[in-house]
Chain A
Protein backbone atom coordinates (compact mmCIF):
# COMPACT_ATOMS: atom_id res chain seq x y z
CA UNK A 1 0.00 0.00 0.00
CA UNK A 2 2.86 2.30 0.88
CA UNK A 3 4.55 1.54 -2.41
CA UNK A 4 1.30 2.08 -4.34
CA UNK A 5 0.61 5.46 -2.84
CA UNK A 6 4.24 6.46 -3.36
CA UNK A 7 4.18 5.45 -7.02
CA UNK A 8 0.84 7.20 -7.51
CA UNK A 9 2.26 10.39 -6.02
CA UNK A 10 5.46 10.04 -8.02
CA UNK A 11 3.42 9.45 -11.18
CA UNK A 12 1.45 12.61 -10.60
CA UNK A 13 4.59 14.67 -9.96
CA UNK A 14 6.25 13.16 -13.04
CA UNK A 15 3.23 13.95 -15.20
CA UNK A 16 3.16 17.53 -13.97
CA UNK A 17 6.91 17.89 -14.52
CA UNK A 18 6.53 16.51 -18.04
CA UNK A 19 3.77 18.99 -18.85
CA UNK A 20 5.84 21.82 -17.46
CA UNK A 21 8.82 20.72 -19.60
CA UNK A 22 6.69 20.59 -22.75
CA UNK A 23 5.27 24.02 -22.05
CA UNK A 24 8.71 25.42 -21.31
CA UNK A 25 10.15 23.96 -24.47
CA UNK A 26 7.44 25.48 -26.64
CA UNK A 27 7.31 28.87 -25.02
CA UNK A 28 9.89 31.49 -24.21
CA UNK A 29 13.22 31.82 -25.90
CA UNK A 30 13.01 28.62 -27.93
CA UNK A 31 10.26 30.00 -30.14
CA UNK A 32 12.63 32.75 -31.21
CA UNK A 33 14.64 30.18 -33.11
CA UNK A 34 11.90 30.21 -35.70
CA UNK A 35 9.95 33.41 -34.96
CA UNK A 36 11.11 36.97 -35.56
CA UNK A 37 9.80 39.70 -33.31
CA UNK A 38 11.43 42.62 -35.15
CA UNK A 39 11.54 43.74 -38.77
CA UNK A 40 14.71 44.92 -40.48
CA UNK A 41 13.56 46.84 -43.55
CA UNK A 42 15.58 47.87 -46.55
CA UNK A 43 13.91 49.53 -49.54
CA UNK A 44 15.22 49.55 -53.10
CA UNK A 45 13.92 52.03 -55.67
CA UNK A 46 13.80 50.10 -58.94
CA UNK A 47 11.73 52.65 -60.82
CA UNK A 48 13.16 54.28 -63.92
CA UNK A 49 12.38 57.91 -63.25
CA UNK A 50 10.64 58.28 -59.89
CA UNK A 51 12.11 59.18 -56.51
CA UNK A 52 11.01 57.84 -53.14
CA UNK A 53 11.09 60.42 -50.36
CA UNK A 54 10.06 58.38 -47.32
CA UNK A 55 8.33 55.22 -46.13
CA UNK A 56 6.10 55.46 -43.05
CA UNK A 57 3.61 53.26 -41.24
CA UNK A 58 0.16 54.85 -41.38
CA UNK A 59 -2.66 54.51 -38.87
CA UNK A 60 -5.86 52.95 -40.20
CA UNK A 61 -7.60 56.31 -40.39
CA UNK A 62 -4.46 57.69 -42.09
CA UNK A 63 -4.21 60.50 -39.61
CA UNK A 64 -1.09 59.38 -37.74
CA UNK A 65 2.20 58.25 -39.16
CA UNK A 66 5.28 56.59 -37.80
CA UNK A 67 8.46 57.12 -39.76
CA UNK A 68 10.44 54.08 -40.84
CA UNK A 69 12.68 54.83 -43.84
CA UNK A 70 13.45 58.52 -43.67
CA UNK A 71 15.79 59.06 -46.63
CA UNK A 72 15.34 60.00 -50.26
CA UNK A 73 15.94 57.20 -52.73
CA UNK A 74 16.66 58.24 -56.27
CA UNK A 75 16.07 55.68 -59.06
CA UNK A 76 18.32 52.66 -58.53
CA UNK A 77 19.24 53.54 -54.92
CA UNK A 78 18.85 51.43 -51.82
CA UNK A 79 18.09 52.63 -48.31
CA UNK A 80 19.93 51.76 -45.14
CA UNK A 81 18.54 48.88 -43.11
CA UNK A 82 16.31 50.17 -40.32
CA UNK A 83 15.07 47.92 -37.55
CA UNK A 84 11.63 48.54 -36.03
CA UNK A 85 9.12 46.55 -33.97
CA UNK A 86 6.43 46.37 -36.66
CA UNK A 87 5.44 42.73 -37.04
CA UNK A 88 1.91 42.03 -38.20
CA UNK A 89 -0.52 43.69 -40.61
CA UNK A 90 0.11 47.37 -41.36
CA UNK A 91 -0.35 50.02 -44.00
CA UNK A 92 2.66 51.83 -45.48
CA UNK A 93 2.57 55.38 -46.71
CA UNK A 94 5.13 55.89 -49.47
CA UNK A 95 5.88 59.48 -50.40
CA UNK A 96 7.37 59.86 -53.88
CA UNK A 97 7.81 62.25 -56.80
CA UNK A 98 7.49 61.55 -60.49
CA UNK A 99 10.95 62.90 -61.13
CA UNK A 100 14.39 61.34 -60.98
CA UNK A 101 15.83 64.10 -58.77
CA UNK A 102 13.11 64.22 -56.08
CA UNK A 103 11.78 67.54 -57.28
CA UNK A 104 8.23 68.44 -58.14
CA UNK A 105 4.97 67.56 -56.45
CA UNK A 106 5.09 65.00 -53.64
CA UNK A 107 2.66 62.17 -54.22
CA UNK A 108 1.44 59.63 -51.65
CA UNK A 109 0.69 55.95 -52.09
CA UNK A 110 -0.81 53.64 -49.41
CA UNK A 111 -0.30 49.90 -49.44
CA UNK A 112 -1.14 47.17 -46.95
CA UNK A 113 1.56 44.71 -45.94
CA UNK A 114 1.80 41.60 -43.84
CA UNK A 115 5.18 41.73 -42.13
CA UNK A 116 6.45 38.43 -40.76
CA UNK A 117 9.48 40.04 -39.18
CA UNK A 118 13.12 39.39 -39.86
CA UNK A 119 15.01 40.82 -42.86
CA UNK A 120 12.61 42.45 -45.32
CA UNK A 121 13.96 43.65 -48.65
CA UNK A 122 11.23 45.71 -50.31
CA UNK A 123 11.54 46.39 -54.01
CA UNK A 124 9.51 49.33 -55.30
CA UNK A 125 8.79 49.30 -59.01
CA UNK A 126 6.82 51.36 -61.47
CA UNK A 127 3.84 49.72 -63.12
CA UNK A 128 0.92 51.13 -65.06
CA UNK A 129 1.51 54.65 -63.85
CA UNK A 130 1.72 53.80 -60.16
CA UNK A 131 4.03 52.14 -57.66
CA UNK A 132 4.09 48.38 -57.19
CA UNK A 133 5.76 46.45 -54.41
CA UNK A 134 7.31 43.07 -53.84
CA UNK A 135 9.54 41.54 -51.20
CA UNK A 136 12.71 39.84 -52.39
Chain B
Protein backbone atom coordinates (compact mmCIF):
# COMPACT_ATOMS: atom_id res chain seq x y z
CA UNK B 1 0.00 0.00 0.00
CA UNK B 2 1.30 3.42 -0.87
CA UNK B 3 2.08 5.90 1.87
CA UNK B 4 -0.56 8.37 0.62
CA UNK B 5 -3.10 5.55 0.66
CA UNK B 6 -2.41 4.87 4.32
CA UNK B 7 -2.70 8.58 5.10
CA UNK B 8 -6.06 8.76 3.32
CA UNK B 9 -7.28 5.69 5.18
CA UNK B 10 -6.25 7.25 8.47
CA UNK B 11 -7.90 10.60 7.74
CA UNK B 12 -11.12 8.92 6.68
CA UNK B 13 -10.93 6.80 9.83
CA UNK B 14 -10.79 9.91 12.03
CA UNK B 15 -13.62 11.48 10.00
CA UNK B 16 -15.97 8.53 10.37
CA UNK B 17 -15.14 8.29 14.05
CA UNK B 18 -16.18 11.91 14.45
CA UNK B 19 -19.47 11.24 12.68
CA UNK B 20 -20.23 8.32 14.95
CA UNK B 21 -20.49 10.44 18.08
CA UNK B 22 -23.86 8.95 19.02
CA UNK B 23 -22.62 5.50 19.85
CA UNK B 24 -24.35 3.03 22.12
CA UNK B 25 -22.90 2.65 25.57
CA UNK B 26 -21.22 -0.44 26.93
CA UNK B 27 -22.93 -2.04 29.91
CA UNK B 28 -21.73 -2.79 33.41
CA UNK B 29 -22.70 -6.45 32.90
CA UNK B 30 -20.55 -6.79 29.80
CA UNK B 31 -17.57 -5.29 31.63
CA UNK B 32 -18.15 -7.48 34.68
CA UNK B 33 -18.06 -10.60 32.46
CA UNK B 34 -15.01 -9.37 30.55
CA UNK B 35 -12.58 -11.69 32.31
CA UNK B 36 -14.39 -14.90 31.38
CA UNK B 37 -14.87 -13.71 27.77
CA UNK B 38 -11.18 -12.84 27.44
CA UNK B 39 -10.07 -16.18 28.86
CA UNK B 40 -12.23 -18.02 26.36
CA UNK B 41 -11.10 -15.87 23.43
CA UNK B 42 -7.46 -16.44 24.29
CA UNK B 43 -7.91 -20.22 24.35
CA UNK B 44 -9.79 -20.05 21.07
CA UNK B 45 -6.90 -18.13 19.50
CA UNK B 46 -4.40 -20.61 20.91
CA UNK B 47 -6.43 -23.41 19.29
CA UNK B 48 -6.11 -21.63 15.92
CA UNK B 49 -2.37 -21.09 16.28
CA UNK B 50 -1.68 -24.65 17.43
CA UNK B 51 -3.24 -26.17 14.32
CA UNK B 52 0.32 -26.67 13.13
CA UNK B 53 1.88 -26.96 16.56
CA UNK B 54 5.19 -25.58 15.34
CA UNK B 55 6.60 -22.40 13.84
CA UNK B 56 5.85 -19.07 15.43
CA UNK B 57 3.23 -16.42 15.96
CA UNK B 58 3.21 -12.78 17.04
CA UNK B 59 0.16 -10.68 17.66
CA UNK B 60 -0.04 -7.33 19.38
CA UNK B 61 -2.23 -4.30 19.11
CA UNK B 62 -4.94 -2.18 20.65
CA UNK B 63 -8.37 -0.84 19.92
CA UNK B 64 -8.38 2.81 19.06
CA UNK B 65 -11.37 5.05 19.69
CA UNK B 66 -10.38 8.68 19.97
CA UNK B 67 -13.67 10.10 21.26
CA UNK B 68 -15.17 9.83 24.75
CA UNK B 69 -18.60 9.46 23.19
CA UNK B 70 -17.69 6.28 21.25
CA UNK B 71 -17.78 3.79 24.11
CA UNK B 72 -19.46 5.51 27.05
CA UNK B 73 -20.49 3.41 30.04
CA UNK B 74 -24.15 2.85 30.81
CA UNK B 75 -24.74 2.48 34.52
CA UNK B 76 -27.80 2.76 36.71
CA UNK B 77 -26.87 6.42 37.22
CA UNK B 78 -26.69 7.40 33.58
CA UNK B 79 -24.11 7.49 30.82
CA UNK B 80 -20.48 8.09 31.71
CA UNK B 81 -18.05 9.54 29.19
CA UNK B 82 -14.98 7.40 28.77
CA UNK B 83 -13.22 4.68 26.89
CA UNK B 84 -13.51 0.93 26.65
CA UNK B 85 -10.01 -0.30 25.97
CA UNK B 86 -8.24 -3.48 24.96
CA UNK B 87 -4.48 -3.82 24.69
CA UNK B 88 -3.09 -7.22 23.84
CA UNK B 89 0.05 -9.12 23.15
CA UNK B 90 0.43 -12.74 22.11
CA UNK B 91 3.29 -14.92 21.10
CA UNK B 92 4.09 -18.51 20.27
CA UNK B 93 7.40 -19.99 19.33
CA UNK B 94 8.55 -23.57 18.88
CA UNK B 95 11.87 -25.11 18.01
CA UNK B 96 12.83 -28.56 16.81
CA UNK B 97 14.68 -30.25 19.67
CA UNK B 98 15.25 -33.47 17.76
CA UNK B 99 13.99 -34.84 14.47
CA UNK B 100 10.20 -34.27 14.27
CA UNK B 101 10.03 -33.27 17.95
CA UNK B 102 9.14 -29.62 18.57
CA UNK B 103 9.00 -27.87 21.89
CA UNK B 104 7.50 -24.41 22.33
CA UNK B 105 5.80 -21.86 24.53
CA UNK B 106 2.62 -19.83 24.22
CA UNK B 107 2.02 -16.55 26.00
CA UNK B 108 -1.14 -14.49 25.62
CA UNK B 109 -1.72 -11.24 27.54
CA UNK B 110 -4.61 -8.80 27.42
CA UNK B 111 -5.36 -5.76 29.53
CA UNK B 112 -8.87 -4.52 29.01
CA UNK B 113 -11.76 -2.74 30.65
CA UNK B 114 -13.18 0.73 30.84
CA UNK B 115 -11.65 3.94 32.10
CA UNK B 116 -12.45 7.64 32.16
CA UNK B 117 -9.30 8.43 30.21
CA UNK B 118 -7.57 6.82 27.28
CA UNK B 119 -4.10 5.64 28.09
CA UNK B 120 -1.38 3.18 27.26
CA UNK B 121 0.06 2.41 30.66
CA UNK B 122 -1.47 4.38 33.52
CA UNK B 123 -5.28 4.61 33.70
CA UNK B 124 -7.23 7.26 35.56
CA UNK B 125 -8.79 4.62 37.87
CA UNK B 126 -11.92 6.65 38.51
CA UNK B 127 -14.95 5.53 40.54
CA UNK B 128 -16.43 3.76 37.53
CA UNK B 129 -13.34 2.18 35.98
CA UNK B 130 -12.60 -1.47 35.68
CA UNK B 131 -9.11 -2.55 34.64
CA UNK B 132 -8.34 -6.21 34.30
CA UNK B 133 -5.61 -8.27 32.76
CA UNK B 134 -5.68 -11.89 31.69
CA UNK B 135 -2.56 -13.91 30.95
CA UNK B 136 -2.48 -17.37 29.43
CA UNK B 137 0.76 -19.30 29.13
CA UNK B 138 1.81 -22.83 28.56
CA UNK B 139 4.22 -25.30 27.06
CA UNK B 140 3.65 -26.98 23.71
CA UNK B 141 5.02 -30.28 22.46
CA UNK B 142 4.51 -31.38 18.87
CA UNK B 143 5.43 -34.66 17.20
CA UNK B 144 5.24 -33.62 13.57
CA UNK B 145 5.49 -37.08 11.97
CA UNK B 146 2.44 -38.21 13.97
CA UNK B 147 0.83 -34.75 13.50
CA UNK B 148 0.24 -34.64 17.23
CA UNK B 149 0.33 -31.62 19.57
CA UNK B 150 -0.05 -31.49 23.31
CA UNK B 151 -0.09 -28.22 25.21
CA UNK B 152 -0.94 -27.29 28.77
CA UNK B 153 -0.58 -24.29 31.00
CA UNK B 154 -2.19 -21.78 33.31
CA UNK B 155 -4.41 -18.74 33.07
CA UNK B 156 -4.33 -15.85 35.48
CA UNK B 157 -6.98 -13.20 35.82
CA UNK B 158 -5.77 -10.09 37.60
CA UNK B 159 -8.42 -7.59 38.73
CA UNK B 160 -6.21 -4.55 38.74
CA UNK B 161 -8.95 -2.07 39.62
CA UNK B 162 -12.68 -2.61 40.12
CA UNK B 163 -14.85 0.48 40.47
CA UNK B 164 -17.97 0.91 42.56
CA UNK B 165 -20.47 -0.26 39.94
CA UNK B 166 -19.14 -3.78 39.51
CA UNK B 167 -19.48 -6.95 41.53
CA UNK B 168 -16.52 -7.77 43.75
CA UNK B 169 -13.74 -9.49 41.85
CA UNK B 170 -10.57 -11.00 43.18
CA UNK B 171 -7.45 -12.05 41.39
CA UNK B 172 -7.81 -15.61 40.18
CA UNK B 173 -4.55 -17.39 39.62
CA UNK B 174 -5.59 -21.01 39.39
CA UNK B 175 -7.16 -21.43 35.98
CA UNK B 176 -5.49 -24.16 34.01
CA UNK B 177 -5.90 -25.45 30.49
CA UNK B 178 -4.84 -28.32 28.30
CA UNK B 179 -4.96 -28.85 24.57
CA UNK B 180 -4.58 -32.01 22.55
CA UNK B 181 -4.51 -32.04 18.75
CA UNK B 182 -4.21 -35.03 16.48
CA UNK B 183 -4.39 -34.26 12.80
CA UNK B 184 -7.51 -32.28 12.08
CA UNK B 185 -9.11 -32.80 15.49
CA UNK B 186 -8.41 -30.99 18.72
CA UNK B 187 -9.86 -30.97 22.19
CA UNK B 188 -9.23 -28.24 24.69
CA UNK B 189 -10.27 -28.03 28.31
CA UNK B 190 -10.22 -25.14 30.75
CA UNK B 191 -10.42 -25.59 34.53
CA UNK B 192 -10.55 -23.55 37.71
CA UNK B 193 -9.14 -25.52 40.60
CA UNK B 194 -11.18 -28.72 40.32
CA UNK B 195 -14.14 -27.30 38.34
CA UNK B 196 -14.20 -27.49 34.60
CA UNK B 197 -14.91 -24.17 32.86
CA UNK B 198 -15.14 -25.02 29.21
CA UNK B 199 -14.48 -27.77 26.74
CA UNK B 200 -13.81 -27.02 23.09
CA UNK B 201 -13.84 -29.77 20.48
CA UNK B 202 -12.71 -28.77 17.00
CA UNK B 203 -12.81 -30.78 13.83
CA UNK B 204 -10.98 -28.82 11.15
CA UNK B 205 -11.48 -30.97 8.10
CA UNK B 206 -10.47 -28.29 5.58
CA UNK B 207 -7.15 -29.06 3.93
CA UNK B 208 -4.73 -26.21 4.58
CA UNK B 209 -1.57 -25.79 2.52
CA UNK B 210 0.33 -24.09 5.38
CA UNK B 211 0.13 -27.31 7.38
CA UNK B 212 1.10 -29.52 4.46
CA UNK B 213 -2.38 -29.92 2.98
CA UNK B 214 -3.72 -29.29 -0.49
CA UNK B 215 -3.47 -25.93 -2.22
CA UNK B 216 -6.76 -26.47 -4.03
CA UNK B 217 -9.28 -29.15 -4.83
CA UNK B 218 -12.27 -30.69 -3.11
CA UNK B 219 -10.43 -31.37 0.17
CA UNK B 220 -10.09 -27.62 0.74
CA UNK B 221 -13.89 -27.40 0.72
CA UNK B 222 -14.38 -29.68 3.70
CA UNK B 223 -16.06 -27.96 6.66
CA UNK B 224 -14.59 -26.91 10.00
CA UNK B 225 -16.70 -27.57 13.07
CA UNK B 226 -16.28 -26.36 16.60
CA UNK B 227 -18.31 -27.28 19.62
CA UNK B 228 -17.72 -25.34 22.82
CA UNK B 229 -19.32 -26.42 26.08
CA UNK B 230 -19.47 -23.88 28.90
CA UNK B 231 -20.05 -24.67 32.54
CA UNK B 232 -22.82 -22.43 33.83
CA UNK B 233 -21.60 -23.09 37.40
CA UNK B 234 -24.19 -21.97 39.95
CA UNK B 235 -25.44 -19.02 37.92
CA UNK B 236 -26.83 -20.56 34.76
CA UNK B 237 -27.39 -23.79 32.88
CA UNK B 238 -24.51 -25.30 30.96
CA UNK B 239 -24.52 -24.11 27.37
CA UNK B 240 -23.13 -25.27 24.07
CA UNK B 241 -22.09 -23.20 21.08
CA UNK B 242 -21.61 -24.89 17.74
CA UNK B 243 -19.80 -23.18 14.86
CA UNK B 244 -19.45 -24.18 11.25
CA UNK B 245 -16.85 -22.51 9.05
CA UNK B 246 -17.03 -23.27 5.36
CA UNK B 247 -14.76 -22.42 2.45
CA UNK B 248 -17.11 -21.19 -0.26
CA UNK B 249 -14.64 -20.24 -2.98
CA UNK B 250 -10.92 -20.93 -3.38
CA UNK B 251 -10.21 -20.35 0.34
CA UNK B 252 -10.90 -16.70 -0.32
CA UNK B 253 -14.58 -16.60 0.52
CA UNK B 254 -15.76 -18.14 3.77
CA UNK B 255 -19.11 -18.52 5.44
CA UNK B 256 -19.43 -18.95 9.16
CA UNK B 257 -22.50 -19.70 11.22
CA UNK B 258 -22.92 -20.26 14.95
CA UNK B 259 -25.78 -21.75 16.93
CA UNK B 260 -26.45 -21.90 20.65
CA UNK B 261 -27.79 -24.94 22.45
CA UNK B 262 -29.81 -26.16 24.31
CA UNK B 263 -31.99 -23.23 23.17
CA UNK B 264 -31.37 -24.22 19.53
CA UNK B 265 -30.95 -20.58 18.61
CA UNK B 266 -29.07 -18.81 15.91
CA UNK B 267 -26.17 -16.84 17.37
CA UNK B 268 -24.19 -15.33 14.52
CA UNK B 269 -23.29 -15.57 10.86
CA UNK B 270 -20.50 -14.07 8.83
CA UNK B 271 -19.40 -13.84 5.24
CA UNK B 272 -15.69 -13.18 4.89
CA UNK B 273 -13.72 -12.35 1.79
CA UNK B 274 -9.93 -12.52 1.72
CA UNK B 275 -8.35 -11.30 -1.54
CA UNK B 276 -5.43 -13.56 -0.68
CA UNK B 277 -5.86 -16.79 1.34
CA UNK B 278 -3.08 -15.66 3.70
CA UNK B 279 -5.84 -13.55 5.33
CA UNK B 280 -3.64 -10.50 5.78
CA UNK B 281 -6.35 -8.42 4.15
CA UNK B 282 -10.00 -9.21 4.68
CA UNK B 283 -13.51 -7.88 4.31
CA UNK B 284 -16.35 -9.23 6.36
CA UNK B 285 -20.08 -8.81 6.83
CA UNK B 286 -21.57 -10.15 10.04
CA UNK B 287 -24.93 -10.66 11.66
CA UNK B 288 -25.29 -11.38 15.35
CA UNK B 289 -28.23 -12.07 17.61
CA UNK B 290 -27.95 -9.97 20.73
CA UNK B 291 -30.35 -11.86 23.01
CA UNK B 292 -32.36 -8.68 23.38
CA UNK B 293 -35.66 -10.31 22.44
CA UNK B 294 -36.60 -7.20 20.50
CA UNK B 295 -37.75 -8.60 17.17
CA UNK B 296 -35.66 -7.40 14.24
CA UNK B 297 -33.67 -5.03 16.46
CA UNK B 298 -32.34 -8.18 18.08
CA UNK B 299 -30.12 -8.72 15.05
CA UNK B 300 -26.98 -6.65 14.80
CA UNK B 301 -25.70 -6.22 11.26
CA UNK B 302 -22.18 -5.02 10.75
CA UNK B 303 -18.95 -5.32 8.88
CA UNK B 304 -15.23 -4.80 8.99
CA UNK B 305 -12.25 -4.09 6.80
CA UNK B 306 -8.96 -5.63 7.79
CA UNK B 307 -5.88 -4.04 6.22
CA UNK B 308 -2.89 -5.87 7.68
CA UNK B 309 -2.00 -3.29 10.35
CA UNK B 310 -5.37 -1.56 10.69
CA UNK B 311 -8.81 -2.98 11.18
CA UNK B 312 -11.88 -0.81 10.94
CA UNK B 313 -15.20 -2.24 12.08
CA UNK B 314 -18.76 -1.12 12.55
CA UNK B 315 -21.08 -3.36 14.58
CA UNK B 316 -18.93 -6.34 13.63
CA UNK B 317 -19.51 -9.47 15.70
CA UNK B 318 -15.77 -9.83 16.37
CA UNK B 319 -15.61 -6.42 18.10
CA UNK B 320 -19.01 -6.86 19.74
CA UNK B 321 -17.85 -10.05 21.42
CA UNK B 322 -14.35 -8.90 22.33
CA UNK B 323 -14.91 -5.27 23.27
CA UNK B 324 -17.73 -5.47 25.80
CA UNK B 325 -20.51 -5.52 23.20
CA UNK B 326 -19.55 -2.11 21.85
CA UNK B 327 -21.67 -1.10 18.90
CA UNK B 328 -23.04 1.84 17.01
CA UNK B 329 -19.61 3.31 16.39
CA UNK B 330 -16.60 2.78 14.18
CA UNK B 331 -13.93 0.90 16.04
CA UNK B 332 -10.37 0.94 14.80
CA UNK B 333 -7.73 -1.54 15.79
CA UNK B 334 -4.04 -1.02 15.25
CA UNK B 335 -2.49 -4.45 15.12
CA UNK B 336 0.28 -6.75 14.02
CA UNK B 337 -0.82 -10.33 13.48
CA UNK B 338 1.57 -12.74 11.83
CA UNK B 339 2.11 -16.47 11.98
CA UNK B 340 4.94 -18.39 10.42
CA UNK B 341 5.83 -21.95 9.55
CA UNK B 342 9.05 -22.86 7.73
CA UNK B 343 9.64 -19.20 6.90
CA UNK B 344 6.27 -18.64 5.25
CA UNK B 345 4.03 -15.92 6.61
CA UNK B 346 0.27 -15.86 7.13
CA UNK B 347 -2.31 -14.36 9.47
CA UNK B 348 -3.97 -16.43 12.20
CA UNK B 349 -6.36 -19.03 10.85
CA UNK B 350 -5.20 -18.72 7.25
CA UNK B 351 -5.04 -21.80 5.03
CA UNK B 352 -2.21 -20.59 2.78
CA UNK B 353 0.89 -18.48 3.23
CA UNK B 354 1.42 -15.07 1.69
CA UNK B 355 2.99 -15.05 -1.77
CA UNK B 356 6.62 -14.16 -1.19
CA UNK B 357 8.91 -12.51 -3.72
CA UNK B 358 11.09 -15.18 -5.28
CA UNK B 359 13.82 -15.31 -7.92
CA UNK B 360 13.87 -18.31 -10.25
CA UNK B 361 17.39 -19.49 -10.88
CA UNK B 362 18.06 -21.75 -13.82
CA UNK B 363 21.64 -23.07 -13.72
CA UNK B 364 21.64 -23.90 -17.46
CA UNK B 365 21.22 -20.27 -18.40
CA UNK B 366 23.79 -18.63 -16.22
CA UNK B 367 23.97 -15.46 -18.25
CA UNK B 368 20.26 -14.76 -17.83
CA UNK B 369 20.25 -15.55 -14.14
CA UNK B 370 21.66 -12.17 -13.26
CA UNK B 371 21.00 -8.85 -14.95
CA UNK B 372 24.00 -7.97 -17.13
CA UNK B 373 24.42 -4.33 -16.31
CA UNK B 374 22.16 -2.73 -13.79
CA UNK B 375 24.82 -0.50 -12.29
CA UNK B 376 25.35 -2.71 -9.28
CA UNK B 377 28.27 -4.79 -8.19
CA UNK B 378 28.50 -7.99 -10.23
CA UNK B 379 29.72 -10.90 -8.24
CA UNK B 380 29.97 -13.23 -11.20
CA UNK B 381 32.92 -12.61 -13.48
CA UNK B 382 31.85 -12.25 -17.07
CA UNK B 383 34.22 -12.07 -20.12
CA UNK B 384 33.31 -8.40 -20.70
CA UNK B 385 34.75 -7.37 -17.34
CA UNK B 386 37.78 -5.20 -17.80
CA UNK B 387 40.82 -6.10 -15.72
CA UNK B 388 41.98 -3.49 -13.26
CA UNK B 389 45.37 -2.04 -14.18
CA UNK B 390 47.26 -0.41 -11.39
CA UNK B 391 49.35 1.64 -13.80
CA UNK B 392 49.03 4.91 -11.92
CA UNK B 393 50.21 3.63 -8.60
CA UNK B 394 53.75 4.20 -7.52
CA UNK B 395 55.44 1.86 -5.18
CA UNK B 396 58.22 3.03 -2.93
CA UNK B 397 60.70 0.82 -1.23
CA UNK B 398 60.28 0.72 2.46
CA UNK B 399 63.19 2.14 4.35
CA UNK B 400 65.35 0.42 6.86
CA UNK B 401 62.85 1.32 9.55
CA UNK B 402 60.78 -1.67 8.51
CA UNK B 403 63.51 -3.93 9.72
CA UNK B 404 63.73 -2.30 13.04
CA UNK B 405 61.23 -1.64 15.70
CA UNK B 406 62.21 -4.52 17.87
Contact = CB atoms under 8 A, between A and B. Distances in A.
Contacts of B357: 5
Contact of B10 (A22, A31, A38, A66): A22
Interface in A1-42: 1-3, 5, 11, 14-16, 18-20, 22-24, 26-29, 31-32, 35, 37-38
B167 to A, nearest CB: 16
Interface residues of B, number: 33
Contact of A85 (B66, B116, B118, B119): B116
B6 A19 contact: yes
A122 to B, nearest CB: 17
Contacts of A26: 14, 66
A59 B77 contact: yes
Interface string B303-320: 000000110000000000
A121 B79 CA distance: 21
A60 interface: yes
Contacts of B310: 19
B81 A88 contact: yes
Contact of B77 (A24, A28, A57): A57
B35 interface: no
Contact of A19 (B10, B120, B124): B10
A87 B10 contact: no
B396 interface: no
B307 to A, nearest CB: 11
A23 B76 contact: no
Chain B: interface secondary structure?
loop
A54 interface: no
Interface string B110-154: 000000111110001011100000000000000000000000000
A85 B128 contact: yes
B120 A90 contact: no
A128 interface: no
Interface in A89-132: 89-91, 117
Contact of B79 (A16, A19, A37, A89): A89
Nearest to A65: B77
A74 interface: no
A1 B10 CA distance: 31
Contacts of A3: 376
Contacts of A28: 118-120
Nearest to B17: A26
Contact of B126 (A14, A38, A90): A38
B77 A58 contact: yes
11 contacts: A15-B3, A19-B6, A27-B118, A29-B119, A35-B68, A37-B116, A38-B116, A57-B78, A60-B77, A87-B81, A117-B81
Given A11-B3, A14-B3, A28-B118, 9 more contacts: A15-B6, A19-B309, A26-B14, A28-B120, A29-B119, A31-B118, A38-B116, A64-B77, A88-B81
